[in-house]
Amino acid sequence: MTDESVLNSEKHIGRRAFLALLGAGLIALFFGPGLLARLSRGGPEAGGFAINSVAPAPAFDPSTWRLKVDGLVQQPLDLSFEQFNALPQVDRTNDFYCVEGWGVRNVLWTGVTAQEIMQRAGVEPTATHLVFHSGDGIYTDSLTIAEASRSDVLLAHLQGGQLLTQDHGRPLRLLAPGEFGYKSVKWVVRVEAIAAGTDGYQGYWELQGYPADATIA
Ligand SMILES: Nc1nc2c(c(=O)[nH]1)N[C@H]1C(S)=C(S)[C@@H](COP(=O)(O)O)O[C@H]1N2
Ligand SMILES: [Mo]
């Protein structure tokens, strides 16, 4: 990147987000995959996850919790936690990376693929994105239908075989491996199929200047 393009992208995406992304880029450039091994041994929370939440965790009551799937779908869904748990479950193990420069290797997640949810709801061919809404009332982010169709994209309720802790998204979070952690919305209560324009959908961090495509290079 030349100095000029650095200045240009700084103008376009905002200083804070720019610095975070530059940091992530430099980390990837200089340390490569070995960084994660070091982080997961001695990161901000050795051997595990940091907690990144812009709003307090909502309380979880299994008797009243619902997952709604709506928008551009033929069959809207409104599932209790019991009904969600009765859907076909899969296990996926993958690494988790935050743009702030920490990561965790080999995390086991259990849940339902976004693909399964899309099939059950009958997502309309006109839909371009799924928007994941958090029960915190503030945080949202989206995946394109193509991203959401990958077999490792899960709505997960178990981490390492245990119900997610409250801070990590109890009872349900998105996992989008291969994309930075800000895509992995915690406390998901609604999945909305939308048709977005060419600019796509602006989630919480996209509105602060992060790119909508969070693919880890
Ligand atoms: N609802 C909600 N989901 C969220 C966030 C958040 O602030 N609120 N932070 C995101 C970011 S930036 C990251 S890196 C991961 C962190 O997940 P963790 O707190 O379980 O480590 O959650 C993502 N999902
Ligand atoms: Mo993050």
Q: What does the pLDDT profile of the chain (217 residues) look like in tens digits?
A: 333 333 333 334 455 555 555 555 544 444 444 444 444 443 444 346 899 999 999 999 999 999 999 999 999 999 999 999 999 999 999 999 999 999 999 999 999 999 999 999 999 999 999 999 999 999 999 999 999 999 999 999 999 999 999 999 999 999 999 999 999 999 999 999 999 987 899 999 999 999 999 999 8
Query: Which residue from 99, 164, 182, 208 has its CB within 8 A of the most atoms of ligand 1, so it is best to mutate?
Result: 182
* pLDDT at site 20: 58
| C-beta of 136 in contact with ligand 1 (< 6 A) | yes
| Residue 51: closest CA among 100, 91, 105 | 100
Mean residue pLDDT of the chain comes to 86
Per-residue pLDDT tens over the stretch 29-88: 444 444 444 444 434 443 468 999 999 999 999 999 999 999 999 999 999 999 999 999
What's the half-sphere exposure (Cβ side, CA atoms, 13 Å) at 212?
15
Dihedral over Cα of 115, 72, 173, 209: its sign: positive
* pLDDT at site 190: 99
Task: Go through the domains of the chain in sequence order and give each one's CATH number.
Answer: 9-208 (3.90.420.10)
CA distance linking residue 2 with residue 23, whole number of Å: 16
Strand 188-194 to 66-71 pairing: parallel
The 10 Å CB-count burial string (b at 16+, else e) for 130-140 is bbbbbbbeebb
Q: In what order do the strands lie in the sheet with 77-80?
A: 77-80, 66-71, 188-194, 129-134, 140-144
Minimal-distance CA residue to ligand 1 atom 15? 181
pTM: 0.83
| C-beta of 140 in contact with ligand 1 (< 6 A) | no
Tokens at 88, concatenated: 């076909």
Tokens at 111, concatenated: 């849940």
| C-beta of 206 in contact with ligand 1 (< 6 A) | no
Torsions phi, psi of 96, nearest 5?
A: -125, 130
Question: Which residues on adjacent β-strands are paired with residue 188?
Answer: 134
Q: What angle do CA 48, 54, 55 make, to 5 degrees?
A: 105
**What's the 183 CA to ligand 2 centre distance in angstroms?**
8
